[in-house]
Amino acid sequence: MKTLVLYNPLSGNKQGEARARNLITSLINKEITLIDVTETDVKKLFSEIAEEDEVILCGGDGTINHFVNDIDGIEIKNPVFFYPTGSGNDFFNDIGKSDTKEPVQANQYLTNLPYVIVNGKKRKFINGIGFGIDGYCCEVADQMRAKNENAKIDYTAIAIKGLLYGFDRPNAEIEYDGKKMNVDYVWLAGTMKGRFYGGGMNAAPHQDRLDPERLVSLTLMHAKSKIKTLMLFPKIFEGKHILKPEIAQEFKAHDVKVKFDRPTALQIDGETVLAVTEYEVHID
């Protein structure tokens, strides 16, 4: 049996390879092959390896997002493990493994995933879709990295500035499982497969990624008052924002459609898509 360690050199502020090599030192008595996943045809790789070979994917949330899309349409019979080497690691946190330093088998989490349609393109996601100030935060962070690749990104500070003056709240038309509503002054209108995104925000505290009904959570925050929203915002890290249902709600659904009245940045598992006016989420 061989062990293939797939790593993303860009994860963890470009520490991905070093962290993967550090993991290898703990893998005793294994025949190991180290592979840069960003330069690998993953479907071809799985067609060539033996079924008993194991794969360890090293990276962050963006890495696992690319992986599930790269393997889309094929049946994975090999044991696949995940080892976090990213900066946020919301997936690892959501499955309750944030305290472990060992790779965790991930096969059960790689199937029955929802997909999002944005600008005519279809993509599966592992954690969630952020549309609103969360997408805005990713947009600002990308701009900071473009100016300084070593810039320290504080998403909470970006969000607070956005709450106070940077983010222009859109109005939204929302539909979930046939139910329609119009919502004004929208801060967030995301859809979640897991509970966490944004490096620890518990946006959908009642979401279960292994839900046998395969439901996702539509998460909303909307309010005219910036002060009330600013006071509530820290509660999102504990999942307690939804205790103020006049501002924040969580709805279960199979199908979600969100349309804003102005272009806004959107994020898919932490990767930014600019100038989006609408998205759809469905589960096959």
Alpha carbon distance 198, 30 (integer Å): 35
Whether the CA torsion 275, 196, 236, 190 is positive or negative: it is: positive
Whether the CA torsion 203, 206, 210, 213 is positive or negative: it is: negative
Consecutive sets of 10 residues in the chain, 284 residues long: mean pLDDT of each?
95 90 91 96 96 95 96 95 90 85 92 96 97 94 87 85 92 98 97 93 96 96 95 94 97 98 96 97 92
Q: What is the pLDDT of residue 98?
A: 73
Q: What is the pLDDT of residue 182?
A: 98
Q: What is the pLDDT of residue 151?
A: 81
Q: What is the pLDDT of residue 5?
A: 97
Domains (range + CATH), the chain: 2-109 (3.40.50.10330), 115-282 (2.60.200.40)
Q: What is the pLDDT of residue 198?
A: 85
- Phi, psi values for residue 95, rounded to 5°: -85, 10
Helix (H) or strand (E) holding 142: helix 133-147
Q: What is the pLDDT of residue 263?
A: 97
Q: What is the pLDDT of residue 34?
A: 96
Residue bearing tokens 């890495």? 63
Residue 216 class from Cβ within 10 Å (0-12 exposed, 13-18 middle, 19+ buried)? buried
**First and final CA of the chain: distance in angstroms?**
34
